[in-house]
Structure 1
């Protein structure tokens, strides 16, 4: 069969055996029904009127209450007029104003964590024209700056000993509101809830307690699940924030489908709300479909996706993207599984977005750096580089420590595959420098894999659009055949 896979700015065709299975998110197995657009307002008002585990906003707020509304950046969640961010803010503002809160006492914070601080164009895409024009020009939409020491606060450590730093605007506010997305995430199962606050409004020292090899290379991290040490750390860090603030976050999270449409809306206290939201999200995200384990996974990597332009050509970001798929698909991979992935791999690092990754890549090529964890000891050196920090703060670049979390994730692909082939690379040395095999075509890569790793009749799974759609976590059709359930229990 002939299939097209993402490649650079276009596609690349592969001719695969006719018995190849194909899975496309949102198509092969349909998502649970989303809320019809004409019923979204009622769904939001119902959720806000009956928050889980805490009072309503109208009970929590009054005239003089200072409010921070923490909103995720553009990495996920959709930007359509009916997106969760836009609608949740609309109805939350309605509740706050009804309680007597004044506009001047509301501050929106884009929770980019170590991601690039949002430009005006980003904020307009997130909030929409109306909200943007209402709050941007008065300085009431800001982007989290984890290196602005004046507006960060150290809250001590969790009982486990992890340092907790927090955005001081949020800490000082009377009512902190988290807008979140319950959408599949390779780091701990889902976005939203306590993951949002533990990563979005803190700094690199706090994030370095969980986005590191000692956490990400544990047996409980792969495949993706909601019971890993990383997930527990998210909860502990965020609950420590709540303890020090003296009150909980008020959350408004939406379970989203493949196209970032709302399946359900949940509001309230994260500790009680998250498990309830996950039960429904599990039906969309942990898809029990595979009837056999697969020896070969085939997919394509566009140049621009998820973290930005160059994600599919920058060799370090490519490794993170490959490992994210391993985390999602490990349950249906055979023990000797091979990945074949197209990438232009053309040397485009996008140095403005990731100014430190070229240096990091070159460092990895020398000085006894045999596997990706070997470079982890340079994390603080890069994270405190003043020029890279200035580019994060003022030039919309990723924070330099972000590259080390990418390296930590990137090693997971090597840990769980026999080989990874990059096909169509224009500068194949960059791929080989990350330990990847290179071939010109899908067909050549498959023939080589048959000879060396998977035999002449491998089970092949093709995954078109895998980086273009909100991903699922693929599972065996019979849950008893999964190596681990959704919550970290091994079978």
Structure 2
């Protein structure tokens, strides 16, 4: 037997797994490709962008520029993190071309996430760039800003919106991270603009059951309706503002190390970044046989913020996302065992709408019924919560709806989702999950559905151990 410590709330839960179980850990199951010198790689990318002239050629004394960058949720805070390196180098190129520093604005592309604070910016951008631009030219995107551009519908019928500041800039620039994502394959590229600098109506075109509950959402593949929507919205944004975005994307590794950098059009950076990102993200397991049971450890605090493992709305989304990452290594009807304390702390200071949203949802037969209801639409535009998003560093109320869309996938795709260690069993039941008193009880229950001697896949630190990979069976890596 193997002793394994699973993430559990603020501590660990020790469990026993058979020797035949596949335990996925960075440094043991997989490694990253070698990193590069981020400064040299970014300089080289800026000197030879694809599909657009260099920034120094685009710049000029009368030109304005807006630089959108990813928020605190991902990308790292270390000295050579992509944002921290790329933004000063982009500014340097603009100044070289004659653009005045007072005509350059930095925009934190939060989408529907909470606005980032001054201290958070100093942490992940560095004090030099923050002091240079704050307070007037370092701002958070506001998806509720009445000046947000409504650009109608794209060819797929998606709502298209765009930051008025990005639209007004002569040179709209986006810094992106190309990393494996359970939502449409990879972040960065068109996803960066389609989710980071739009409004909730545009995001509600794809972060909803009609997209996320499709077969092609599972497996975290870069091909599927969600990816098509990101690209369609991004191109419609460019057509609507009459300019192409100048993108500077980095492929990032397990701990946000820079593995490669490319600059140019959104199409170009996707074309150049994705092959390396696939190599980094897609991991071939040593087994040819799909697993019957997925075992997951859920900490209390991870990327969206404090309370992800205790807030049922966020905890459900976490399991849905990890199911997607592991889907290609599982049987079609697996059992999931998740250890999560699920104690009902919704962290209202960051996620004020989530508790009310959760209890509203419990009045409906299925989560997707709630999400299609007038009650959910009213919650998404609740003035108290939208005002809080715009002024008090909280998540937008529609963000909770998108989390419910992802969290309602596991009960639809799995025979059982068993939650061990829940202090609020009713919360697990409301999600369609089954609370279990102990891990051993959960494993016995799982075996009732899978049969004896099940094949087990375990991802003990998938939320705390850096950028989780997408898992594939031996011999079945995607081309």
TM-score range, shorter chain: over 0.9
Q: Is the 8 A contact 1:25 1:470 kept in 2?
A: no
- Mean alpha-carbon deviation: is it higher for 409-418 or for 111-120? 409-418
Q: If the length of structure 1 is used for normalisation, what is the TM-score?
A: 0.94
Q: Specify the SS of the correspondent of 2:419.
A: strand
Corresponding position of 2:396: 399
Corresponding residue of 1:68: 66
Which residue number corresponds to residue 150 of structure 2?
Answer: 154
**Contact in 2 for aligned 1:66/1:105 (Cα 8 Å):** yes
Q: Is the 8 A contact 2:64 2:171 kept in 1?
A: yes
Is the aligned partner of 1:287 residue 2:288?
A: no
Question: Matched residues in 1 for 2:370 and 2:420: separation?
Answer: 26
Instruction: Answer yes or no: is 1:460 the counterpart of 2:453.
Output: no
- Alignment gaps of 5+ in structure 2: none
Where does residue 380 of structure 1 map in the other structure? 377
**Structure 1 residues 100 and 26: alpha-carbon distance in aligned structure 2, compared to 1, 3 A threshold:** farther
How far the C-alpha of 1:59 sits from its partner, in A, is 1.2
> Cα–Cα, structure 1 residues 364 and 40, in superposed 2: closer, same or farther, change >3 Å?
closer
Partner residue, 1:43 = 41
Q: CA-to-partner distance for each residue in 1:30-53, whole Å, 9 max, x for gaps?
A: 111111xxx332211111111112
Summarize deviations over 1:84-138 as a string: whole Å, max 9, x none: 001001211111111111110010000001111111122212211111111113x
Distance 2:351 2:305 in 1: 10
Aligned to 1:82: 80
How far, CA to CA, are the matches of 1:96 and 1:287 in structure 2? 39
Cα 1:408–1:175 change in 2 (3 A) is same
| Corresponding position of 1:17 | 18
Q: Tell me, yes or no, if structure 1 residue 425 matches structure 2 residue 425.
A: no
CA distance in 2, matches of 1:383, 1:362: 15
Given the alignment, which residue of 259, 266, 269 partners 2:262?
A: 266
Superposition TM-score, scaled by structure 2 size: 0.96
Asked if the contact 2:105/2:138 (under 8 Å) is kept, the reply is: yes
1:28 — aligned with what? Answer: 29
Whole-angstrom CA distance in 1 between matches of 2:349 and 2:16: 37
- Helix, strand or coil: the match of 2:397? coil
Residue pair 1:79, 1:125 contacting (<8 A) in 2 also:
yes
Alignment correspondent of 1:489: none
Please list the CA deviations of residues 441-490 of structure 1 after superposition, one character each: whole Å capped at 9, or x if unmatched.
2222101211x2111100011212110121111012212xx7xx47xxxx
User: What secondary structure does 1:34 align onto?
Assistant: coil
Choose from 139, 158, 168 the match for 2:164.
168
Q: 1:295 & 1:317 partners in 2: Cα distance?
A: 25
What residue in structure 1 maps to residue 434 of structure 2?
437
Deviation at 1:65, TM superposition (A): 1.0
Choose the corresponding residue for 1:231, options 214, 217, 227.
Answer: 227
| 8 Å contact kept, 1:155–1:244 | yes
The DSSP-based 3-state class of the residue aligned with 1:458 is coil
Range with greater deviation from structure 2 (414-423 or 426-435): 426-435
Aligned ranges for residues 85-234 of structure 1 at < 5 Å?
85-137=83-135, 139-149=136-146, 151-234=147-230
Q: Deviations over 1:164-185 (max 9, x none)?
A: 1111000000001100000011
Q: Once the 2 structures are TM-superposed, how far is the Cα of residue 5 of structure 1 from its aligned partner?
A: 0.7
| 1:288 Cα deviation from its structure 2 partner | 2.2
Aligned residues: 474
Q: Which runs of 4+ in 1 moved over 4 A?
A: none
| 2: CA distance, partners of 1:462 / 1:421 | 14
Instruction: Name the Cα RMSD after superposition.
Output: 1.3
Contact 1:165 1:203 survives alignment (8 Å) = yes
Cα offset, 1:26, TM superposition: 4.8
CA contact (8 A) 2:248 2:269 kept: no
Q: Is the 8 A contact 1:326 1:416 kept in 2?
A: no
Alpha-carbon distance, 1:247 to partner? 1.7
Long gaps (5+) in structure 1: 487-491
Q: Secondary structure at the match of 1:264?
A: strand
Match of 1:338 among 332, 335, 352: 335
1:58-79: CA deviations, max 9, x gaps? 1111112100000111110111
Equivalence for 1:55: 53
CA-to-aligned-CA distance 1:344-401 (integer Å, 9 cap, x gap):
11111111211111111111222xx222111112332111111011111111111111
Of 331-340 and 70-79, deviating more is: 331-340
Instruction: Provide the rounded CA distance (Å) in 2 between the counterparts of 1:110 and 1:169.
Output: 12
TM-aligned CA deviation for residue 196 of structure 1? 0.6
- Measure, in 2, the Cα distance between the counterparts of 1:166 and 1:172: 10
Counterpart-to-counterpart distance in 1, 2:188 and 2:376: 26
Q: Distance in 2 between matches of 1:27 and 1:234?
A: 34
